[in-house]
């Protein structure tokens, strides 16, 4: 039996396995340390072998962005109202980015347009089209939803990097309660997940077909 692998490919190695290795490397050492040489060592191949799967580092970075969105898109497959399906996607994307904060700058700065990311968008548009959205309105909602989630996570990651604390409200723990009584009360009652859901609900109501 002849092998379907091209010269330079390694048995058992796939694009997905390489991208998983890249995520591990970024989680451990940071995005700035990601190189083809270091990634090759991470997945136990020579760096040149990686070029049989990704033409160059730009293609690898595009693949990483698509990899992030692909992990979140699974939630769109669920049955139910469009609001619940998109909320599931938003929560999944948020959780993925919060679990891998080193990838956040890449997602923010690199709006990769690949077959994988286009499939993610097409799936979202299918969900909204079946709910009565016009194509342009559906696309606007998908873009706005992604921008909201990515911006929310970027702000959370930046706060954590600067203060070592995961939430904005935690920075208010030392605020003088006598001078800022409302801030103190509000921060003590804050529930970030509830705020995230409230923002999603407002977003969906604003875009819902009339």
> Tokens in use for 99?
């679990």
Is it the case that residue 4 has pLDDT exceeding 80? no
> Tokens in use for 117?
């990311």
Backbone Cα Rg of the chain: 21
Considering 32-36, 74-78, 155-159, 188-192, the range whose residues carry the highest mean pLDDT is: 32-36
Residue-wise pLDDT tens digits, 57-75: 999 999 999 998 888 877 6
Tokens 């992990």 sit at which residue? 71
Distance CA 165, CA 103 (A): 19
Q: Which residues of 165-203 are buried (b: 16+ CB within 10 A; e: fewer)?
A: eeeebbeeeeeeeeeeeeebeebeeeeeeeebeeebeeb
Contacts of 190 (CB under 8 A, 6+ apart): 167, 169
Residue-wise pLDDT tens digits, 11-60: 579 999 999 999 999 999 999 999 999 999 999 999 999 999 999 999 99
Q: What is the pLDDT of residue 103?
A: 93
């Amino acid at each position: 039996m002849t092998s379907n692998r091209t010269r330079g490919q390694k048995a058992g190695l796939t694009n997905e396995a390489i991208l998983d290795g890249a995520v591990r490397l970024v989680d451990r050492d940071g995005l700035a340390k990601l190189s083809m040489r270091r990634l090759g060592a991470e997945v136990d191949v020579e760096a040149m072998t990686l070029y049989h799967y990704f033409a160059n580092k730009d293609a690898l970075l595009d693949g990483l962005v698509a990899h992030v969105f692909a992990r979140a898109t699974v939630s769109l497959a669920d049955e139910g109202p469009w609001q619940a399906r998109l909320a599931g996607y938003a929560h999944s994307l948020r959780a993925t980015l919060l679990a891998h904060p080193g990838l956040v700058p890449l997602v923010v700065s690199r709006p990769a347009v690949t077959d994988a990311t286009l499939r993610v968008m097409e799936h979202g548009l299918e969900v909204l089209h079946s709910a009565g959205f016009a194509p342009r309105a559906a696309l606007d909602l998908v873009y706005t939803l992604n921008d909201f989630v990515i911006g929310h996570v970027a702000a959370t990651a930046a706060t954590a990097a600067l203060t070592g604390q995961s939430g904005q409200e935690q920075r208010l723990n030392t605020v003088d309660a006598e001078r800022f009584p409302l801030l103190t009360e509000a921060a003590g009652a804050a529930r970030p997940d509830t705020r995230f859901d409230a923002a999603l609900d407002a977003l969906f109501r604003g875009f819902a077909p009339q």
